[in-house]
């Protein structure tokens, strides 16, 4: 299957936003593979036998997305930015509901080293990362959004810049600063 154009996805998003239910039916097959790839990346560091599967994560995020009313879509990058934010919420809600509040208690494991090319070797649980991102957002909202889009959303520097309406150079600067900040924050916990 060929990759849909950004314009095609944007047109369907705008039509869906206008109340055309048929647009949602056309949109889902166009974005499903990318959503599945993002979800697979989130779950790649999971322990074997984890209950939440890739398809379930995509479906749950999409159900939450459909429940939102009147999102004014700005384009493909905005759609995937919102989708990755929803997947993050699904994963954190799942981890919290499983009572995995303590690090190492069987919580979702994400290798910050592998994804962010940091200096730590030990895996970081998703709840600790979510808490650190929340603290980062209080300090620097834009850098927090950059991490969320790049780390959780798997967006490129250019896609992140488009979604946030900033330059790629600003994304790189925020990304590097946020990685260092998060590694320090998580390592002190």
Is there a domain that residue 166 lies in?
A: yes
Query: Mean pLDDT for the chain?
Result: 78
Is there a domain that residue 1 lies in?
A: no
Is there a domain that residue 42 lies in?
A: yes
What total number of domains does the chain contain?
A: 1
pTM value > 0.75: no
More confident site: 171 or 25:
171
Highest mean pLDDT of the ranges 28-32, 62-66, 172-176, 178-182: 172-176
Domain that holds residue 58: 6-188
- Return the minimum-mean-pLDDT range out of 23-37, 46-60, 129-143, 168-182: 46-60
Is there a domain that residue 157 lies in?
A: yes
> Stretch 145-150: mean pLDDT, rounded?
88
What pLDDT band is residue 17 in, cutting at 50, 70 and 90?
Answer: confident
> Stretch 89-112: mean pLDDT, rounded?
62
Q: How far apart are CA 166 and CA 145, in angstroms?
A: 12
Q: Is the pLDDT of residue 16 over 90?
A: no
Q: Is the pLDDT of residue 59 over 80?
A: yes
Provide the pLDDT for residue 46: 57
Of the candidates 76, 101, 91, 75, which has an alpha carbon nearest to the alpha carbon of residue 151?
Answer: 91
Q: How far apart are CA 42 and CA 58, in angstroms?
A: 11
């Amino acid at each position: 299957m060929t990759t849909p154009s950004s314009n095609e996805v944007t047109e369907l998003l705008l039509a869906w936003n206008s109340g055309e239910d048929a647009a949602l039916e056309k949109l889902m097959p166009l974005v499903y593979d990318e959503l599945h790839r993002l979800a697979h990346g989130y779950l790649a560091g999971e322990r074997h036998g984890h209950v939440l599967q890739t398809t379930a994560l995509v479906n749950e995020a999409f159900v939450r997305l459909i429940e939102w009313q009147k999102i004014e879509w700005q384009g493909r990058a905005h759609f995937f930015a919102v989708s990755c934010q929803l997947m993050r919420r699904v994963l954190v809600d799942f981890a919290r509901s499983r009572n995995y509040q303590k690090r190492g208690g069987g919580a979702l494991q994400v290798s910050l080293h592998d994804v962010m090319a940091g200096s730590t070797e030990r895996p970081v649980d998703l709840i600790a990362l979510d808490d650190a991102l929340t603290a980062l957002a209080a300090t620097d909202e834009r850098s927090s959004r950059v991490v969320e889009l790049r780390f959780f959303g798997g967006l490129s520097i250019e896609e992140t810049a488009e979604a946030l309406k900033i330059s790629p150079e600003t994304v790189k600067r925020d990304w590097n600063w946020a990685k260092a900040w998060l590694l320090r924050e998580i390592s002190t916990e």
